[in-house]
Structure 1
Amino acid sequence: MKSNMLKLLIVLMVSSFVSSCKSTNETTNSKARGKGNQGPPNIDQIFETMDVDKDGKLSETEVKGPLKNDFSKIDTNSDGFLSKEEIEKAPKPNRQRPQQGRRQ
């Protein structure tokens, strides 16, 4: 009986270890493929996420973040929408990384 319990415990520990290794590997692979939180999204990703009505342009009500903050600057033809071309030509937002504290 003790032998069976010991075997069961070992199987559970091994399976838990394998599962955690698989999860870590999947996370690493998805980041290597550019998924996750790696840098700013590309134009197609922006439109896929924000273009709610799927008309191929972004209205001020559809956008958020830096696009919303600078909407009138990016909307160079003043038609009330952002095209892919206007976004491509837009100045990139000034993204500063947070300063890390010094270790003493």
Structure 2
Amino acid sequence: MKKLILSIGFVVLASSTVISQERNDDAKKQGPPSLEQIFKDLDKDEDGKISLKEAKGPLKNDFKKIDTNKDGFLSKEEMKKAPKPQRPEKRN
């Protein structure tokens, strides 16, 4: 009986370790969101543009820089031309 309990415990522990590692790997592979994902997440009225009200985070902070035609909206073309945010260097 003790062997059965130990075996079950080992399987549960091994399974949770594998699942945890897979989640970590997925997070590492994910990287920055695509342009399509940004619009899907932020363009709440689905008009194909992101307003200052819809923008969040660094996009909201740099809105005026990215809005090159000064119409109050960010188009996909403006987003493609926008400078990429600086990311901190990874430490090994």
Question: Is TM more than 0.5 here?
Answer: yes
Q: Deviations over 1:7-57 (max 9, x none)?
A: 34223212212322331342255246x33xx3x222112112111122211
Match of 1:52 among 44, 65, 69: 44
| Residue ranges of structure 1 left out of the alignment (5+ in a row) | none
* Counterpart amino acid of residue 11 in structure 2: S
Please, what TM-score do these two structures have when normalized by structure 2? Answer: 0.77
Number of paired residues? 91
| Residue ranges of structure 2 left out of the alignment (5+ in a row) | none
Higher helix share: 2
* 1:26 aligned residue: 22
* Counterpart amino acid of residue 23 in structure 1: I
Look at both structures and tell me which one has the larger radius of gyration over its CA atoms: 1
* Counterpart amino acid of residue 23 in structure 2: T
Match of 1:66 among 39, 58, 62: 58
RMSD over aligned CA atoms reads 2.3
Note the C-alpha offset of 1:84. Answer: 0.8
* 2:10 aligned residue: 14
Q: Percent same amino acid among aligned pairs? A: 48
State the distance in 1 between where 2:19 and 2:68 align. Answer: 45
Please, what TM-score do these two structures have when normalized by structure 1? Answer: 0.69
Q: State the secondary structure of the residue aligned to 1:49.
A: helix
State the distance in 2 between where 1:31 and 1:94 align. Answer: 19
Match of 2:68 among 47, 69, 76: 76
Q: Which structure is richer in relative contact order (CA contacts within 8 A, separation 6 or more)?
A: 2
